[in-house]
Structure 1
Amino acid sequence: MRIITGIYKGRHFDVPRTFKARPTTDFAKENIFNVLNGYIDLEDADALDLFAGTGSISLELVSRGCRHVTAVEADRAHHAFILRCLKTLGTDKCMAVRGDVFRYLKSCKRKYDFIFADPPYALPELPQIPAAVLDGGLLADGGIFVFEHGKENDFSADPRFIERRVYGSVNFSIFGI
């Protein structure tokens, strides 16, 4: 896993082979962040990374200058890996929360400028995630929500949908408020 740009550009972290989570590919990550440059300035933004997995997106957001990143991950080993990566970088700009994303969405009172969600593609509740995020009041005015999902999902009917980007087998739906 590699950080693409920013203050930690080029840093590598070896993801344990036993992990179930698959980091967003460098190709897809680089391309979606290039697209995001047209929608949001991440410097000094508050960001939320849901289903953080290996922490790849969270680390990228910290490297790109986010003021604060909250990474939510339920798996104990993945959460511990994110904490190790943050310690290695020596940053306090990210808080790794070990917990259920849906509980977090219901209890969170904070607003975020940028939200990213990359749930397991086979998650039964996957189709409900955009509404849970967008209707939950977590996204600040002018904020952007990026949802990574499989090709069989289509969220273009949502009035807050902006566009869909496809990079190989990775699909991103972008929403705004």
Structure 2
Amino acid sequence: MRIIRGILKTKKITVPKNFPSRPTTDFAKEGLFNMLENRFDFIDLKLLDLCAGTGNISFEWLSREAGKAVAVDSNFNVVRHIRSLTKSFEMESFIQIVQSDVVKYLEKTTEKFDLIFADPPYEAKFHADIVRLVYERDLLNENGLLIIEHGKRTDLSELPHFELSRGYGNVIFSLFSKE
């Protein structure tokens, strides 16, 4: 995996053997960020990266000088890996890394975000909980966007605030708008 654009362009995100996370492919990530660039001016925005895994999305976001990121994952080894990459990329002042169950994090946080990205395991059963909590707790800023990455067998189109889905190979991004 590599950072596609920005100040960290061409930096590699290495993944240790037996890493407990499935990274977003470069192909899908490039499609996602092309879509986002048509909607947002990235300067000084705040990202929440749920089920952060490799930190791939957070680092791509920060590479484009988008502001700040909060990366949340429940796995100790994942969090340790993101901290290591943060240090090697010299991004410590731009990212907060939180070890927590994402549903519990959403139940407790009072922060608001411009973009919330969630990449739960494809077989996970809490996609709808993420959507519900983001809107119940009013966690998006005005014109904010929630994006959930999922596989082809998951259909989120019946959930409230659903806007559209875009597919990139086996990866689907479902977008939910504030309005």
TM interval, shorter chain, is over 0.9
Shift in Å at residue 102 of structure 1? 0.9
Pairwise mapping of residues 145-160 of structure 1 onto structure 2 (< 5 A)? 145-160=146-161
Q: Find the aligned partners of 1:26 and 1:13 in 2 and give their Cα distance.
A: 11
Shift in Å at residue 116 of structure 1? 0.3
Q: Which residue does the alignment assign to 2:74?
A: 74
2:106 is paired with a residue of what secondary structure? helix
Using the TM superposition, name which of 152-161 and 76-85 deviates more.
Answer: 152-161
CA RMSD of the aligned region, Å? Answer: 1.2
Q: Which residue does the alignment assign to 1:2?
A: 2
Q: Find the aligned partners of 1:34 and 1:67 in 2 and give their Cα distance.
A: 18
Q: Find the aligned partners of 1:51 and 1:134 in 2 and give their Cα distance.
A: 18
Runs of 5+ consecutive residues of structure 1 not aligned to the other structure: none
Q: Percent identity over the alignment? A: 42
| TM-score, structure 1 as length reference | 0.95
Deviations 1:56-92 (A, max 9, x none): 0011111111211000011011100000000001111
Shift in Å at residue 159 of structure 1? 4.4
When residues 106 and 159 of structure 1 are mapped into structure 2, their CA distance, relative to the original with a 3 A threshold, is closer
Task: In structure 2, give the amino acid aligned to 1:147.
Answer: I
Runs of 5+ consecutive residues of structure 2 not aligned to the other structure: none
Shift in Å at residue 136 of structure 1? 2.1
Task: In structure 2, give the amino acid aligned to 1:7.
Answer: I
2:23 is paired with a residue of what secondary structure? coil
Q: Find the aligned partners of 1:115 and 1:176 in 2 and give their Cα distance.
A: 10
When residues 159 and 126 of structure 1 are mapped into structure 2, their CA distance, relative to the original with a 3 A threshold, is closer
Q: Find the aligned partners of 1:113 and 1:41 in 2 and give their Cα distance.
A: 11
Shift in Å at residue 42 of structure 1? 2.0
Shift in Å at residue 40 of structure 1? 1.7
